[in-house]
Amino acid sequence: MELKVVEMSVPEGCNIILGQSHFIKTVEDVYEALVSSSSTIKFGVAFCESSGDCLVRHDGNEEELRKVENAVALGCGHSFNVVMKGAYPINVLTQLKAVPEVCRVFAATANPLQVVVAETDQGRGIMGVVDGAKSKGVEDEAGIEWRKGFLRKIGYKT
Protein backbone atom coordinates (compact mmCIF):
# COMPACT_ATOMS: atom_id res chain seq x y z
CA MET A 1 0.00 0.00 0.00
CA GLU A 2 1.19 3.49 -0.83
CA LEU A 3 -0.09 6.70 0.77
CA LYS A 4 -0.40 9.81 -1.37
CA VAL A 5 -1.60 13.35 -0.82
CA VAL A 6 -3.84 14.77 -3.57
CA GLU A 7 -4.41 18.54 -3.72
CA MET A 8 -7.96 19.46 -4.64
CA SER A 9 -8.49 22.58 -6.72
CA VAL A 10 -10.94 25.05 -5.17
CA PRO A 11 -11.50 28.01 -7.51
CA GLU A 12 -11.61 31.51 -6.02
CA GLY A 13 -15.02 32.26 -4.52
CA CYS A 14 -16.07 28.61 -4.51
CA ASN A 15 -16.53 25.80 -2.02
CA ILE A 16 -15.92 22.09 -2.48
CA ILE A 17 -17.76 19.15 -1.00
CA LEU A 18 -16.01 15.77 -1.04
CA GLY A 19 -17.94 12.61 -0.33
CA GLN A 20 -18.40 8.91 -0.96
CA SER A 21 -21.40 7.16 -2.47
CA HIS A 22 -22.19 3.72 -3.83
CA PHE A 23 -24.02 3.85 -7.13
CA ILE A 24 -23.77 5.27 -10.67
CA LYS A 25 -26.96 7.32 -10.24
CA THR A 26 -25.08 9.52 -7.76
CA VAL A 27 -24.43 12.19 -10.39
CA GLU A 28 -28.11 12.65 -11.22
CA ASP A 29 -29.33 12.42 -7.62
CA VAL A 30 -26.69 14.86 -6.32
CA TYR A 31 -27.60 17.25 -9.16
CA GLU A 32 -31.28 17.12 -8.15
CA ALA A 33 -30.49 17.59 -4.45
CA LEU A 34 -28.35 20.65 -5.18
CA VAL A 35 -30.71 22.46 -7.54
CA SER A 36 -33.63 21.88 -5.18
CA SER A 37 -31.63 23.23 -2.21
CA SER A 38 -30.84 26.73 -3.46
CA SER A 39 -32.12 28.92 -6.28
CA THR A 40 -28.75 30.69 -6.57
CA ILE A 41 -26.37 27.72 -6.57
CA LYS A 42 -24.01 27.16 -9.49
CA PHE A 43 -22.06 23.89 -9.43
CA GLY A 44 -20.35 21.00 -11.10
CA VAL A 45 -20.34 17.43 -9.76
CA ALA A 46 -17.91 14.66 -10.67
CA PHE A 47 -18.17 11.01 -9.57
CA CYS A 48 -15.50 8.29 -9.81
CA GLU A 49 -17.21 5.11 -10.92
CA SER A 50 -15.51 2.07 -9.33
CA SER A 51 -16.76 -0.84 -11.43
CA GLY A 52 -17.47 -1.54 -15.07
CA ASP A 53 -15.88 1.17 -17.21
CA CYS A 54 -14.56 3.04 -14.11
CA LEU A 55 -15.22 6.42 -15.73
CA VAL A 56 -15.46 9.84 -14.15
CA ARG A 57 -19.14 10.74 -14.55
CA HIS A 58 -20.04 14.45 -14.38
CA ASP A 59 -22.82 17.03 -14.61
CA GLY A 60 -23.64 20.51 -13.38
CA ASN A 61 -25.46 23.73 -14.12
CA GLU A 62 -22.36 25.90 -14.61
CA GLU A 63 -19.92 24.88 -17.34
CA GLU A 64 -16.86 26.49 -15.70
CA LEU A 65 -17.46 24.41 -12.55
CA ARG A 66 -18.25 21.19 -14.42
CA LYS A 67 -14.61 20.16 -14.45
CA VAL A 68 -13.32 16.67 -13.80
CA GLU A 69 -9.71 17.45 -12.84
CA ASN A 70 -10.27 16.92 -9.10
CA ALA A 71 -11.94 13.55 -9.67
CA VAL A 72 -9.29 12.43 -12.15
CA ALA A 73 -6.47 13.42 -9.76
CA LEU A 74 -8.21 11.69 -6.86
CA GLY A 75 -9.18 8.53 -8.73
CA CYS A 76 -10.84 7.00 -5.65
CA GLY A 77 -13.71 4.66 -6.40
CA HIS A 78 -17.19 5.89 -5.58
CA SER A 79 -15.93 9.30 -4.48
CA PHE A 80 -17.67 12.44 -5.64
CA ASN A 81 -16.88 16.11 -5.45
CA VAL A 82 -19.03 19.17 -5.91
CA VAL A 83 -17.47 22.54 -6.73
CA MET A 84 -20.04 25.25 -6.03
CA LYS A 85 -20.64 28.99 -5.82
CA GLY A 86 -23.70 31.12 -5.14
CA ALA A 87 -24.48 29.11 -2.00
CA TYR A 88 -22.60 27.70 0.97
CA PRO A 89 -22.29 24.01 1.86
CA ILE A 90 -24.51 24.67 4.89
CA ASN A 91 -27.31 25.41 2.39
CA VAL A 92 -27.08 21.97 0.77
CA LEU A 93 -25.46 19.47 3.16
CA THR A 94 -28.70 18.21 4.72
CA GLN A 95 -30.24 17.51 1.32
CA LEU A 96 -26.97 16.04 0.00
CA LYS A 97 -26.62 13.68 2.97
CA ALA A 98 -30.24 12.59 2.44
CA VAL A 99 -29.41 11.24 -1.05
CA PRO A 100 -29.85 7.47 -0.53
CA GLU A 101 -26.55 6.45 -2.11
CA VAL A 102 -24.41 9.03 -0.26
CA CYS A 103 -22.41 7.13 2.37
CA ARG A 104 -20.44 10.02 3.89
CA VAL A 105 -19.15 13.54 3.46
CA PHE A 106 -15.44 13.96 4.13
CA ALA A 107 -15.19 17.74 3.73
CA ALA A 108 -17.17 20.85 2.85
CA THR A 109 -14.89 23.87 2.61
CA ALA A 110 -13.55 26.90 0.77
CA ASN A 111 -10.12 26.26 2.32
CA PRO A 112 -7.23 24.58 0.56
CA LEU A 113 -8.04 20.86 0.67
CA GLN A 114 -5.68 17.91 0.62
CA VAL A 115 -6.92 14.32 0.47
CA VAL A 116 -4.87 11.50 1.97
CA VAL A 117 -5.26 8.55 -0.41
CA ALA A 118 -4.20 4.93 -0.02
CA GLU A 119 -3.37 3.06 -3.23
CA THR A 120 -3.37 -0.74 -3.36
CA ASP A 121 -3.25 -3.26 -6.19
CA GLN A 122 -7.06 -3.08 -6.31
CA GLY A 123 -7.48 0.69 -6.45
CA ARG A 124 -7.53 3.86 -4.39
CA GLY A 125 -9.43 4.95 -1.29
CA ILE A 126 -9.78 8.12 0.78
CA MET A 127 -8.16 7.81 4.22
CA GLY A 128 -8.91 11.35 5.35
CA VAL A 129 -8.61 15.03 4.52
CA VAL A 130 -6.55 18.03 5.53
CA ASP A 131 -8.93 21.01 5.50
CA GLY A 132 -7.14 24.37 5.69
CA ALA A 133 -4.35 25.23 8.10
CA LYS A 134 -3.28 24.06 11.55
CA SER A 135 -4.86 25.83 14.56
CA LYS A 136 -2.77 28.79 15.74
CA GLY A 137 -4.30 29.41 19.15
CA VAL A 138 -7.53 29.81 21.10
CA GLU A 139 -10.00 32.64 20.50
CA ASP A 140 -10.16 35.38 23.10
CA GLU A 141 -13.09 37.67 23.94
CA ALA A 142 -12.39 39.82 20.87
CA GLY A 143 -12.39 36.69 18.72
CA ILE A 144 -15.69 35.55 20.19
CA GLU A 145 -17.21 38.96 19.50
CA TRP A 146 -15.87 38.93 15.91
CA ARG A 147 -17.26 35.40 15.27
CA LYS A 148 -20.72 36.28 16.59
CA GLY A 149 -20.79 39.52 14.61
CA PHE A 150 -19.63 37.83 11.41
CA LEU A 151 -22.35 35.14 11.60
CA ARG A 152 -25.00 37.83 12.03
CA LYS A 153 -23.52 39.98 9.27
CA ILE A 154 -23.81 37.17 6.74
CA GLY A 155 -27.30 36.21 7.92
CA TYR A 156 -26.70 32.88 9.65
CA LYS A 157 -27.66 34.10 13.12
CA THR A 158 -30.04 36.80 14.30
Confidence at residue 155, expressed as pLDDT on a 0 to 100 scale: 87
3-state helix, strand, coil in the chain (%, to 5): 25, 35, 40
Is 133 exposed, middle or buried, given 0-12, 13-18 or 19+ CB atoms closer than 10 A?
Answer: exposed
Residues linked to residue 52 through DSSP beta bridges, in sequence order = none
Delineate the domains of the chain, giving CATH numbers in brackets.
9-112 (3.40.1520.10)
- Mind listing the pLDDT tens digit of every residue in the chain (158 residues)? 999 999 999 999 999 999 999 988 999 999 999 999 999 999 999 999 999 999 999 999 999 999 999 999 999 999 999 999 999 999 999 999 999 999 999 999 999 999 999 999 999 999 999 999 999 999 999 999 999 999 999 888 88
List, in order, residues 6 or more apart from 6 with CB less than 8 Å away.
73, 74, 114, 115, 117
Confidence at residue 130, expressed as pLDDT on a 0 to 100 scale: 97
